[in-house]
Chains A and B, each alone.
Chain A
Amino acid sequence: MEGGAVAAQSSRHEVTDAVVRFAGDSGDGMQLTGTQFTQATAMAGNDLATFPDFPAEIRAPAGTTYGVSAFQIHFGSKVIRTSGDEIDVLVAMNPAALKTNIDDLRRGGLVILDTGAFTARNLSKAGYETSPLEDKSLEGYRILEIDMSRMTVEAVKDHGLGNKDALRCKNMWALGLIDWLYARDRTINENWLRQKFEKFPEVAEANIAALNAGHAFGETADFPTEFGAAYVAPARIEPGTYRALTGAEGAAMGLVAGAKLAGLPMLFAGYPITPASALLHTLAPLKDFGVTTFQAEDEIAAICAAIGGSYAGALGVTSSSGPGIALKTEALGLAIATELPLVVVNSQRGGPSTGLPTKTEQSDLYQAVYGRNADSPLAVIACHSPGDAYYAAIEACRIAVRYMTPVIFLTDGYIGNASEPWRIPDFEEHTPFPVRFRTDPEGYKVYERNLETLARAWVKPGTPGLLHRIGGIEKDHLTGNISYDPENHQRMTDARRAKILGIAKDIPAQEVDHGQNGGEIAVVGWGSTYGPISRAVSGMRANGHDVSHIHIRHIWPLPENLGELLRSYKTVIVPEMNTGQLVTVLRSEYLVDCKPVNKVNGKPFRIVEIEDAIQAHL
């Protein structure tokens, strides 16, 4: 075959979309490979969605099935909403990767194997009694056997690396081959390698040599036509400037934007926890944006420092995952009682307890809405995609400062790690919500409320004439002095509740994402189920079914029109990656007999699973 992406297009068969999964040992660099292919694919103008899936162990014993790390990407010339139900191309760097991923490959799909890793020892570690390359167990799939290990060592031999280091370049060899397969411009991968290994140019050049060798292999090898190179046209997407964005990046930039729109510096205090740490890492370098990051001694100290930051006049932000949020609960109560703004990001993961740290779940909705001692209302917002994380984070900041309240911002491990092409907004188009600190001592009452928002005034310590004390003991509804008066506690409890419920007047009415108001079936989701629900509903609508998709961002308070909207459908289905949490809230709030659809296997819903659930109610 001739080289050169453009020239090759005529000889390539065109596909509208494809799903590729890179799978190997957790030390094989599969996440890097996937991320680099994502960058090249984004630059080629395809729409895309990714699903990084990796073990909790940093370096599980090599060759084991539990040490397999995978990165899946779904890309196409059409709008892509999920990382794909089935794989078209599986790159398996060893037997364990083949074994744990082959079931997701569609019949007739392509497996690209590194035969160099299919040793007797590795086959045994993966639990194969006979080699799948010989025992016909791979019949029905197309198999491309390549000794990538040997070819990589060969390709980098002039770069002075030892055999072990040379072999570490084989993920780039695989990337080069897949770049060729889909006509990707690998310059972006080369540039990235040179930047990453700036201080080790020989390593950079060895990796580039492997990348080029993989690519050249694709160009020159005499493949049977059915393995042939594919062409995926650019997607027809909204004009604009785009970048690839992960959920962690989206949330981080949204928080920075939110603080800026509020006119505040940000104090972000966190403690390392998977999968939330990415947010701390992303924010830590952003010092020119008025961001101070603080790695606290524990989760409790992190939220307390963030509240201290808000008390002093910054936007306090803390972030964790479910187990860490549990530790922060008491301090959340203090932020509620002292009515200070705070944004708490929860990157949800599988639970209970330590659970599945690297696997996704959306099972902290109860925790967010209900999970505190006493009557402790706060606002809860959930984002549904990496790009949406940006806007949802801004909204969380807005509500926190306008209503002087903690806001829990729910994202999850899937959104955090997944990436998608994102149309970059113009920051100047966002509406600012500048904070006005009270400085006027005249008539100041610590807990006097704004009649519209019911929020108390925010006073920075250091402001002359406004000396006051606040704390967790119940306070007089005006002066803020300690009060054990029974009527006052009733009044304050009612006020805290009314303030949070009143936010419903200040958020958009719930819209139907896809479909119409009223009808046979509504599929109601929240968070990262957006992609599969959206795709399932649009597919079923195209087949003439009366199904609509509603996706809820404001989990608490819920939009004012939501009850009426839900009652306008005969059947309401609520798919969630938990055992039924939003469904409970909806039933209890609206007495609507919503039907739960649940899944907690650490992986996102497949489109077909949502379709089956809808089908069952048709």
Chain B
Amino acid sequence: MNEVIQPALKAKDYATNQEVRWCPGCGDYAIIKAVQKTMADIGADPANTVFVSGIGCAARFPYYMETFGFHTIHGRAPSFATGIKLVNPDLDVWVVGGDGDGLSIGGNHTMHAIRRNVDITYLLFNNEIYGLTKGQYSPTSRRGTRSPSTPDGSIDSPVNALSFALGANARFVARGIDRRQDHLPGVLARAHSHKGCSFVEVIQNCIVYNDGAFEHFTEKDVKADTQIECVHGELLLFGKDKKRGLRLNHDSLELETVIIGENGITEDDIIVHDETNRTIAGALARMEPPHFPMAIGVLYCDPADQSYEKAVLRQNRAVAEKATTKGDMNALLRRGATWDVAT
């Protein structure tokens, strides 16, 4: 990397010379490609960018990004990122982790980074499985998942990553899919531009331990009918000919899928996506095939006045200005009652 920042860096300029050690065919390859494209699209300054990760397959990400990188410990990446931002809020900090990292061992830190609204971009790669430890079920695995640790099928209900984030009062929630290279970079760019904690779930296929887990909505022949792209200000329509849509049932206060032209349904019945509507975002986050399409894109975006670290530093400055000790160590040491002992 040259010392001087070249304004016209290409996606490949954000790749390191390190040998990538993900399994051939892993969804992570597609995601890193999308991230590197995004970096080029937004003109990210590598020297001002830090990728922070925990542990897991996804967490190897920083080694492959030609930026600053900190590969930390399992589940704790958001905490390291918080410390980094508190010291240098000007750094562009990305957190990358998997579903086990961010929602199981690190669920607590994910929750608090979100509710504090630390200005980071959190990419949670969800493959519904523990890959690096060889295939155990994860907190996002569907009930009945057979794995080495659940040979007779998992018993417990999964957590929905975006519902979790919204529950923690996230101000930005989005979803992308590894296979949607046409869509994912746009989502990442939006997440990056959001001031505050932006939380992005990226659906990712684990080719070894959970291959095909998402093909019921990612395969070419079904995706049009099973994915809905949420775009602010536009009708929530999906399907090959965009004749299907989402309507709010005013009796149950739940979403339902309808077909325009059937049972008297017109476009007027279809919801216009308002990404500042928290209630609808919650409903969109919960949708799953087969009854609903999978919602992708920016489900919710409603920036706060100020991110956490900026507010902390502002308070620090305000208090410091009023302090009588004015940063003078001798004044601090002598503060309060003192007395002199003469010779």
Contacts and interface: CB of A to CB of B under 8 A. Distances in A.
Interface string A592-618: 000000000000000000000000000
A188 B317 CA distance: 32
Interface string A304-316: 1111111111101
A486 interface: no
Interface residues of A, number: 75
A329 B332 CA distance: 33
Interface in A298-341: 298, 300-302, 304-314, 316, 330-331, 333-334, 338
Contact of A471 (B48, B62, B112, B342): B62
A309 B46 contact: no
B65 to A, nearest CB: 8
A275 to B, nearest CB: 21
A312 B84 contact: yes
Contacts of B46: 467
Contacts of B312: 292, 294
Interface in A458-501: 460-473, 481-482
Given A290-B327, A304-B80, A334 B67 contact: no
B8 interface: no
Contacts, number: 214
Query: Per DSSP, are chain B's interface residues mostly helix, strand or loop, or mixed?
Result: mixed
B76 A301 contact: yes
A330 B337 contact: no
A469 B62 CA distance: 7
A426 interface: yes
Given A301-B76, A467-B1, A469-B69, A462 B333 contact: no
A265 interface: yes
Nearest to B115: A297
A311 B50 CA distance: 11
Interface in B306-327: 312-313, 315-317, 319-321, 323, 325-327
Contacts of A297: 79, 108-109, 111-112
Contacts of A301: 76, 78-79, 82, 108-109, 112
Given A287-B316, A312-B88, A425 B48 contact: no
Given A256-B329, A309-B83, A240 B319 contact: no
A1 interface: no
Contacts of A43: 337, 339
Contacts of B5: 464
A467 B340 contact: no
Interface string B73-97: 1101011111110111011000000
B21 to A, nearest CB: 8
Contacts of A461: 47-48, 50, 68, 84, 88, 91
Contacts of A505: none
A20 interface: no
Nearest to A192: B337
Given A313-B88, A464-B3, A481-B18, A472 B83 contact: no
Contacts of A138: none
Contacts of B18: 481-482
Contact of B336 (A243, A462, A464, A473): A243
A486 to B, nearest CB: 18
Contacts of B79: 296-297, 300-302, 304-305, 308
B68 A469 contact: yes
B329 A308 contact: no
A574 interface: no
A461 B90 CA distance: 10
Q: Please indicate which of the listed interface residues B65, B90, B317, B336 has the most CB atoms of chain A within 10 Å of its own CB.
A: B336
A358 B264 CA distance: 72
Interface string A273-303: 0000000000001111110101011101110
Contacts of B90: 462
A288 B320 contact: yes
Contacts of B2: 465
B330 interface: yes
Contacts of A588: none
A65 interface: no
Nearest to A312: B87
A168 interface: no
B342 A306 contact: no
A424 interface: yes
A308 B82 contact: yes
Contact of A468 (B3, B68, B336, B337): B68
Contacts of A316: 83
Given A304-B72, A305-B83, A427-B333, 19 more contacts: A42-B337, A239-B343, A240-B341, A241-B341, A243-B333, A243-B334, A300-B76, A305-B82, A307-B72, A311-B80, A312-B91, A331-B76, A427-B329, A461-B47, A461-B48, A461-B84, A467-B68, A469-B16, A471-B62
- 5 closest A-B pairs by beta carbon, nearest first, are A308-B83, A471-B71, A305-B83, A469-B69, A304-B79
